[in-house]
Amino acid sequence: MKEMETLLRDRKQFFYAGDLLAMRIDFTSQGIFDLIGLRPEELTTGRIIRMIHPSDLAKLKSFPTRFFRSGIELFEKKGGEEFFSVTVRLIKPDGHVLHALYQSYAFYSTMPYESVFAIIVYTDISNLSIPKNIQHHYVGCDPSLFRYPDEDLLQTGHHFSERELEILRLVARGMESEDIAKALFLSVHTVNTHRRNILRKKDSTNIQDIIFNLKEQGVL
């Protein structure tokens, strides 16, 4: 355990683990204090959500629901695993902002009792180059993406800008281009240009298919 804690500190990481279905944290590594200024016993899921930078809350709004739904699905199947990964900014108690990668591994197990458990890792990625045109966000079953982050890993995700995501959210609410233009103080031409770019990036002709897939990943 001591060697693990030393390795985590050297890598600027901390992790916590617990019962996903019960939303309970059973263990938190000591390195949490070095990264976000909390003692292990102070960590709760609500506490860390409140530390998320306001600008990141919109893109992560659907993430907890998607994560919990995954736990229920794994429990119903009595097996399986799923990996989640997303970049996030956390505001520490001293006001400084931590640029971090959130990674989680959710899995079904009957030990020590039947449930779905999760291991969640936060890594300081402030020294890595993060492409501005790529929003790293992964949900799936590829264990190769549950690794110490590098620039290749951070380029895994969708390529939508914040404005495009904003428009996608409004389309998902049933709004037409004219209504979106009024809501965002844009011209209809600009909104339609964004919509065409969204379709082009996914090589798709149906924006509802894109919205469905992003909802499945917890992006929208």
Chosen domain end from 110, 136, 158: 158
Give the residue from 127, 158, 189 where a domain finishes: 158
Q: Residue 138 — left, alpha, or beta (φ > 0 → left; ψ -120 to 50 → alpha)?
A: beta
CATH number at residue 210: 1.10.10.10
User: Is residue 74 domain-shared with residue 180, that is, in the same domain?
Assistant: no
| 131 and 212 inside one domain | no
CATH of the domain at 93: 3.30.450.20
Closest CA relative to residue 157, chosen from 72, 59, 24: 59
Same domain membership, residue 115 and residue 23: yes
Cα distance between residue 47 and residue 2, in whole Å: 26
Please tell me the predicted confidence (pLDDT) of residue 159: 75
Residues 198 and 102 in one domain: no
pLDDT, one tens digit per residue, over 47-76 is: 998 999 988 887 777 778 888 999 999 999
How many independent structural domains does the chain possess? 2
The size of the chain, in residues, is: 220
- Which tens digits make up the pLDDT trace of 82-121? 999 999 999 999 999 999 999 999 999 999 999 999 999 9
- Dump pLDDT digits (tens) for 206-215: 999 989 888 8
Among 128-132, 152-156, 201-205, which stretch is predicted with the lowest mean pLDDT?
128-132
Residues near 196 by beta carbon (within 8 Å), at least 6 away in sequence: none
* CA atoms within 13 Å, Cβ hemisphere of 126: 10
Q: Amino acid letter at 153? A: L
The predicted model scores a pTM of: 0.81
Is there a contact between 156 and 138 (Cβ–Cβ < 8 Å)?
yes
Residues 170 and 145 in one domain: no
Q: Which residue in the block uniquely carries the two structure tokens 């939508």?
A: 160
Query: Are 125 and 207 members of one domain?
Result: no
My answer on whether 143 and 193 are in the same domain is: no
Which of 124, 158, 192 marks a domain boundary?
158
Q: Which domain holds residue 57?
A: 2-158
